[in-house]
Amino acid sequence: MLKKLLPATLLTLTTALTLGAIPAAHASQAAPSAAQPASRAAGRISTAFTLPGEKVYPEGIATDPRDHTVYVGSYADGTVYRARPGQRTAEVFLPAGTDGRHTANGLRVDARGRLWVTDSTAGVAVYDTASGRRLAHFEVAGTGGLFVNDLTITPDGTAYLTDSVRSVIYRVTPDRLAAGSGALLPAYDLSGHLTPSPAGSFALNGIVSDPAGRFLLAVDMTAGDLHRIDLRTGAISRVALQGGDLTHADGLDLAPDGTLRVAHNTTNTLTRWHVSPDGTRARLTRTITDPSLQIPTTLSHTPGRTLVVRSQFDKGGPMGPGTPTTFTIASVRGL
């Protein structure tokens, strides 16, 4: 199982899986329409805050809706950092290896201020943001490959999590959360709905939920597709994309007005889409490509700016040799 791997091996495998296959046919992703050309973002991208450490390689990010505190997870060793409003340097909130965690991929803060942190090798843990105490944890049942990646939380408090290897979506209900622990069990199996992809590549990655709690949207980063899961009927369908695709799409952020913001990792691209009220269609409205994004993996939008994780996976990490610069979170305006 993945969680038995040594840290160095885990790091290499995690990045290879997170970024997925990079087919030559998709050297340019999310091709914009003629009316909406790709743009450089000079003057629009700045640094919100830095992350302490030489080998952070961050991946996940979440903003507490109550006080706008930001949490960032290191996929290299599972450290979770915290940056309060106005801080220019984040602090360690949960040290590396807390509760045996190897990675910190997907992060979300729910309406009650509980921080959810996925460990790609095992499952998900839930923490009290005031004390750092673990409130609950759930692990994937069975043996075999797995990669618990991202998560979203619906208005009723139910969490849904993607598995990029098994192509399923897990579910943790409020009742199960109250129980404190248990198996992380699939709620939806998308394996029969996904476009076939090269061996060893990822499929499901980022996931968001409709603010009204009617449906989920989960991205297939290798095929560039977006899938809709109806939470009332269980029906799974493909969202009709207009103006581009979601190749290499990693993190997603869906605003109440139907604006979907996407981080495309290996091409240093951010896109903005307008999703129809029923979630069946999405139209590309803006594309920003800039090398200063440094392999963006995830993003969190708040009024006036979008915070984007600069992973630097290609600077001394498993994507290639080199030396990373200071690890930072970008602030992007106009997305």
The pTM of the full predicted model, rounded to 2 decimals, is: 0.90
- Phi first, then psi, for residue 148 (nearest 5°) are -75, 120
| Amino acid letter for position 297 | T
How high is the pLDDT of residue 303?
85
How many Cα neighbours within 13 Å face the side chain of 52? 13
For the beta carbon of residue 28, count every other beta carbon within 10 angstroms: 12
Among left, alpha and beta (phi > 0; psi -120 to 50; other), residue 70 is: beta
Q: Where are the alpha helices (DSSP H) in the chain?
A: 7-19, 174-179
3-state secondary structure of 179: helix
Give mean pLDDT in consecutive 10-residue pieces for the chain, a chain of 335 residues: 36 47 38 44 83 96 96 96 96 96 96 96 97 97 91 97 96 97 96 86 93 97 97 98 97 97 97 98 97 97 94 82 94 95
How high is the pLDDT of residue 20?
56
First to last CA, the chain: 39
Among left, alpha and beta (phi > 0; psi -120 to 50; other), residue 132 is: left
Identify the burial level of 6 via C-beta atoms within 10 angstroms of its C-beta, where 0-12 means exposed, 13-18 middle and 19 or more buried: exposed
How high is the pLDDT of residue 26?
34
CB 52 within 8 A of CB 92: yes
d(CA 33, CA 239): 18
Q: If residue 293 lies in a helix (H) or strand (E), which one and from where to where? A: none
How high is the pLDDT of residue 335?
94
How high is the pLDDT of residue 201?
75
DSSP readout, 218-235? EEETTTTEEEEEETTT--
**Separation in Å, CA 230 to CA 14, 185, 212, 278:** 30, 18, 12, 10
**Separation in Å, CA 175 to CA 155, 215, 310:** 14, 20, 36
DSSP secondary structure letter of residue 258:
S
- Phi first, then psi, for residue 292 (nearest 5°) are -70, -10
How high is the pLDDT of residue 61?
98
How high is the pLDDT of residue 40?
52
**Long-range contacts formed by 52-57: CB under 8 A, 24+ apart:** 52/81, 52/89, 52/90, 52/91, 52/92, 53/79, 53/327, 54/324, 55/316, 55/324, 56/81, 56/327, 57/11, 57/311, 57/312, 57/313, 57/317, 57/324, 57/327
Identify the burial level of 156 via C-beta atoms within 10 angstroms of its C-beta, where 0-12 means exposed, 13-18 middle and 19 or more buried: exposed
How high is the pLDDT of residue 23?
35
